[in-house]
Structure 1
Amino acid sequence: MKCVIIDDEPLALGILEKYIGAFPVLELIGAFDDAVEGGQFLKANVVDLLLIDINMPDLSGLELVARLETKPMVIFTTAHKKFAFEGFELEAVDYLLKPITIERFEKAVQKAAERFELKKTKNEESIVVRSEYKAIKIALNDIAYIEGMEDYIKIHLLSSRHPVMTLMSLKGILESLPENAFSRIHRSYIVPDSQVRSIQNRKVRLLSGAELPVSDSYAGFIEKWKNRQT
């Protein structure tokens, strides 16, 4: 993964450069102590992963990421816990509190690597997720539905009574699934369109027998599904 660091503290910048060098999966292509200069580099180059401090002069890390038209995966680094919510609102891969240990950094890299692999498999017939310290390959046509549970998701399978749990957001996995094949119907649920048997009273009944609610925010799915049946 091609990565970039933006941090106005030279010590923090040096530590992250050292950590990145310890992981072959990462390739450092830029390190900046100025947010504006770093932002210009991001606009002109393809970057897979951005490690960026939040509290910086002139332009905060949150503001910089929000302005990017094409966003890389982001790991926020900061000495202030109060910014955690804003960081996750921007779908950050992780949020590292300074001083950052190599062990905590490794966990963040693992999360980024898993999301990176999912993006690469977007047009394939399966996805690979990490669960219980191992990589698990899941065929797309074996997915009954996906359920969000705070920081985790449950991937319910047609072939097993035991769902696969992995540390990821619903938005993150939806971006990794084929377009027009999976739909979000609720803040807690994603369904394969092909598994929908019927919709009645804002409830989706799946071929597996499961019934899931459709929330107001995703009510447009009902009309989309009906139009496909005609």
Structure 2
Amino acid sequence: MQLKCVAIDDEPLALELIKNYVLKFPALQMVQTFEDAVSGAEYIGRHTVDLLFLDINMPDITGIDLARGLENPPMIIFTTAYKNFAFEGFELEAIDYLLKPIDVKRFGKAIEKALDYHKYKNAIAGNQDDESLYVYSEYRMVKINLRDIEYIESMEDYIKIHLQFSKTILTLMPLKRVLEKLPADKFQRIHRSYIVPVGKIISMQNRRVKLSTIELPISDSYIDFARRWMGK
């Protein structure tokens, strides 16, 4: 199955470049391109589109405003010559953010993310097991293998995902929301500030969970889990 793609950019040369890049990926099909943002938005509203390449600086409406106005937005890869819109792309949960002139290798990395995320969403929709989590960090989507998560820590509006063999990932998301994305049989909230992978708990004692690298507190609200784990 191919991803149906649309590109919107007021620069004809930019559209031609994206069309040529898309042809290099058999998993993609460019179904339409638009130099006019309004016409592009109308098309997306009437047709199934999987992936949108969207310029940000356009004369009639910005790509940011267009994306915000879509009722059922497809996956979006923003394309722009300016770096200062990266945070807006982050807020809209864009797959990636490509700076012009777009290098084909960098384009390929963005497509890999889109294909991975499409596969992930289909697995979730089909209730299939998936061993990955996708979050937005540093203005782009990041794939995290569940087996690499040591624990997850709340930082008010943000969370820190502590990984065993990699750097900590910071993302704008409440702890409750990330818990909903995780398999309920593999991850457990033990405190208002912490989620742990159940399979990595080494021991529990004095209302504390011992993992390989840290000990974390168990709050009163989650003491029943501790009792079940200890078989009491």
Per the normalisation by structure 1, the TM-score is 0.66
Distance 1:77 1:63 in 2: 14
The within-5 A match list for 1:74-223 is 74-122=76-124, 123-127=127-131, 162=164, 183-184=176-177, 192-194=183-185, 195-196=187-188, 198-199=190-191, 202-204=192-194, 206=196, 207=198, 208=201, 209=209, 211=216
Q: Is the 8 A contact 2:190 2:217 kept in 1?
A: no
For 2:9, the equivalent position in structure 1 comes to 7
Distance in structure 2 (CA, Å) of the matches to 1:213 and 1:37: 54
The whole-number CA distance in structure 1 between the counterparts of 2:168 and 2:111 is 15
SS of 1:28 mapped into structure 2: strand
Question: Identity of counterpart residues, as a percentage?
Answer: 42
Kept after mapping to 2: 8 A contact 1:50/1:73:
yes
Matches of 1:213 and 1:51, distance apart in 2: 45
Give the structure with higher Rg (CA). 2
Q: CA shift at 1:90, angstroms?
A: 0.9
- 1:55/1:61 contact within 8 Å kept: yes
Cα gap change, 1:185/1:110 in structure 2, threshold over 3 Å: closer, same or farther?
Answer: closer
1-structure distance, mates of 2:144, 2:64: 33
Q: Distance in 2 between matches of 1:168 and 1:203?
A: 14
Q: What is the DSSP-based 3-state SS (H/G/I as helix, E as strand, rest coil) of the residue aligned with 1:108?
A: helix
**1:134-173, CA deviations, whole angstroms, 9 ceiling, x for partnerless residues?**
x99868xx9775579xxxx8586xxxxx4688999676xx
CA–CA distance in 2 between the matches of 1:21 and 1:167? 34
Residues 50 and 213 from structure 1, CA distance in 2 versus in 1: closer, same or farther, beyond 3 angstroms?
Answer: farther
**Considering only aligned residues, what root-mean-square deviation do their CA atoms show, in Å?**
4.2
Tell me the secondary structure at the aligned position of residue 85 of structure 2.
Answer: helix
**TM-score, normalization: structure 2?**
0.65
Shift of residue 83 of structure 1? 1.2
**Counterpart of 2:71 in 1: which secondary structure?**
coil
Aligned partners of 2:165 and 2:153: how far apart in 1?
10
Q: Which runs of 5+ in 2 are unaligned?
A: 135-142, 155-159, 202-208, 226-232
Q: 2:120, 2:130 within 8 Å by CA — same for their partners in 1? A: no
User: What residue is the counterpart of 2:230 in the other structure?
Assistant: none
Deviation at 1:34, TM superposition (A): 0.4
| SS class of match (2:78) | strand
Report the residue type matching 1:125 in the other structure. D
For the 8 Å contact 1:4–1:51, the answer to whether it is kept is yes
**2:178 and 2:121 mapped to 1: Cα distance?**
21
How far is the alpha carbon of 1:65 from its aligned partner? 0.3
Match of 1:67 in 2: 69
Which of 30, 55, 66 does residue 32 from structure 2 map onto? 30
Compute the displacement of 1:20 (Å).
Answer: 0.4
CA offset at residue 196 of structure 1?
2.8
Specify whether residues 197 and 52 from structure 1 end up closer, same or farther in structure 2 by C-alpha distance, changes over 3 A only.
Answer: closer
